Chains A and B, each alone.
Chain A
Amino acid sequence: MESTAKKRRCSFNKDWETTYHWVKPVQGDSQRVFCEVCQSSFSVSHGAPERSGREFGSRKPRREEGEPRTEKMPLDQDWTAVYPAATPFRAGSVPLPVRMGYPMKGGVPPEKKGNLELIKIPNFLHLTPAAIKKHCEALKPFCTEWPSALDTDAKCDEHFPIKVECTDYVSSGLSVRNPSARIVQLKVKLSILNLDDHARKKMLKLVGERYCKDTDVLTITTDSCPLRQQNYDYAQYLLTVLYHESWKTEAWEAEKTVADMEEYSWEGSPSQKNIMDMLLRMKVAGEGEGEEVQEQLLARSEVQEYKDSVTRLKNEGDNESSVLQYKEAVKKVFNL
């Protein structure tokens, strides 16, 4: 029925229904037909439907999707069998009513079926406690027993004060080597090391961020060398060098200014000068200049209290209680 020399537009022909069983007429528009396979309509004003070759039996009818696996999952199933390795999220395999995504106006986060957000992110469904247990069981034949004498943390710290941590990586790929395996982390508590006051302050300044004040642990992480052996040696070397250097006193350390001090020390500070000045002017200790007057003033309990409160304010920073303490101390000094 095709004709290249047609001069008029085609319209729906009843015979097409028998020839192509997927064709149905469209109401109201004789120039279009409806295709049941792809559930859409297209125009036939330029000729018979078979022009659109894609319809012509090349498409298999879409089959029904079955019910998802979640319906058939028993409650006491072995989850490690569902997700044995790291795989992207499969909505049909995870029996949880998870929702993820931005809730549009008046709506809720979209459901898990066909949710790209859930597929994009990494999931740890393959690392449930049961799975971890299985991994441990599998690794046990390759491990040795933990020594029974080291049953508490304190004992471990006492006998093995320096802890070295390295990680091994297993993967299946073209190469077994993993560059992250060279990282070595060395942890040691500073209380174990024999450091005096100056050495401790210098050590803290040298290491900077690597020291944690809450747990008193110095962590040295080395990854500059290509091999783990080299990194381990380097970390040990760093620890030795830090220890020895912090004991030495250099000539330029004498130039330490007030801004470098770790803690606030009241002696010689502007605060001390101020209060001394004030007390002298108030002529509290009686007439006379000189050292004894100063010492007399210093020995007074109000001045000691004032000194404590200022030191606390400066070291701790501001908070309500330290400011109140300061206020009480100042009031006492002025006898209010």
Chain B
Amino acid sequence: SQSSEKHLGQFYTLPSAHFRPLFPHGLPYRYQQQVKTFNEACFMVRPPALEVISYLKKADYSKPALRYLFYGVKGSGKTMSLCHAVHFCYTQGWVVLHIPDAHLWVKNCKELLPSSYNSARFDQPLQATTWLRNFRTTNEHLLSQIKTKRRYVWTKRESTDEGRPLGELVNQGISRVKSSSDVVGALMKDLRLQSSQPGADFRLVVAVDGVNALWGRSTIKKENKSVDLEELTLIHNLKKLMKNDWTGGAIITTLSQTGSLYTPKSAYLPQELLGETGFDSMDPFIPVSVPNYSEKEFESAYLYYLDRKWLQHPQSRTEDGKKELSFLSSKNPSMLDRICGFL
């Protein structure tokens, strides 16, 4: 994509060929509805995403993976910035490991099985299978090219040999629900090892939304005892990915208070949401602030809504109406979206 400084504040449309495979999950719900209504996916080019994209362009991929963290108040556009950066990586042909919301993995778990690989841990088959399906949709074209590096044994009769395409591994996980969490873990490990190899022909981008879930608390209960996060296979493997001991890729994350458990509503700064352990694990990382819309960006968003005939109320077209919208939403992207939904 041709995003650069010149295009700050302007919208660029995602080609629909990219949209379907890239974002089966990961976009905010309201935005997905908007895409359906307007029949096009438009991202606003904003400084935080541009900054991260510029770092991605400049970075040296023989060095350990850099970690970027989007933080900001609720509704300021962190997930959207993440998706923008992920789209950039996708156009460059990277393998996209996008976890839409890490909070979903630590709460409301309907099925919890003891792990087959490590008896102390717990598996979450449903979440793992949904995620594997989405992963397959996103990386369809690359999965056939990358081969596994090791042999994985699932049960006495099933195993995946070395040198088989990764696509087979993923299919294995989707069909055999019981071992899906272990497949996820194996996939992560494999990708991590492979992209670190000097001769690797692909790069890996790990995008996690709501990364503070990894070091928070969980509400999943096993026989009335709250499950510790370390005991969940998915979380354990994801934490291993977060460590920057691999090269040839980048880790882009966002903080999210909205889904997080046991955090106050006003918390949005990195240390507040990550906690001591989270910060120490993510350290050193590059925190990127995602503020509310600036004047120019607000104008741009307003004109976009006008252009798509989203604002029907006659008064919304006046100068006064615009000032009112700016004041009511205090230039917060999601608030603006919600208010305009009524007009």
Contacts and interface: CB of A to CB of B under 8 A. Distances in A.
A310 B287 contact: no
A318 interface: yes
B64 A282 contact: yes
A84 B55 CA distance: 77
Interface range for B: 20 to 34
A282 B66 CA distance: 12
A262 to B, nearest CB: 15
Contact of A270 (B58, B272, B283): B283
Given A269-B280, A310-B283, 6 more contacts: A270-B280, A275-B283, A278-B284, A282-B64, A320-B289, A334-B66
Interface size class of A (residues with CB under 8 A): 20 to 34
B343 interface: no
A157 to B, nearest CB: 38
Contacts of B58: 336
A313 B286 contact: no
A326 interface: yes
A317 B276 CA distance: 11
B286 A331 contact: yes
A275 B280 contact: no
B280 A323 contact: no
Q: What DSSP secondary structure best describes chain A's contact surface? A: helix
Interface of B: 55, 58-59, 63-64, 66, 71, 244-245, 269-272, 280, 283-289
Given A318-B270, A319-B269, A323-B289, A274 B63 contact: no
10 tightest A-B CB contacts, nearest first: A318-B269, A270-B280, A318-B271, A330-B284, A282-B63, A271-B283, A274-B283, A327-B287, A330-B286, A323-B287
A274 B280 contact: yes
Given A313-B271, A319-B269, A323-B269, A333 B59 contact: no
A294 B283 CA distance: 18
B283 A336 contact: no
Interface of A: 269-271, 274-275, 278, 281-282, 306, 310, 313-314, 317-320, 323-324, 326-327, 330-331, 333-334, 336
B125 to A, nearest CB: 33
Contacts of A327: 286-288
A246 B270 CA distance: 37
B269 A306 contact: no
B278 to A, nearest CB: 11
B184 to A, nearest CB: 26
B64 A278 contact: yes
Contacts of A320: 269, 289
A54 B64 CA distance: 101
A324 B286 CA distance: 9
Nearest to B274: A318
Contact of A275 (B66, B284, B287, B289): B284
Contacts of B269: 318-320, 323
A271 B276 CA distance: 11
A255 to B, nearest CB: 20
Nearest to A284: B63
Contacts of B63: 281-282, 334
Contacts of B287: 323, 326-327
19 contacts: A269-B280, A270-B280, A270-B283, A271-B280, A274-B280, A278-B64, A281-B63, A281-B64, A282-B64, A313-B271, A317-B271, A318-B269, A323-B269, A323-B289, A327-B287, A333-B284, A334-B63, A336-B55, A336-B59
A91 to B, nearest CB: 45
Nearest to A318: B269
Contacts of A323: 71, 269-270, 287, 289
A1 B288 CA distance: 101
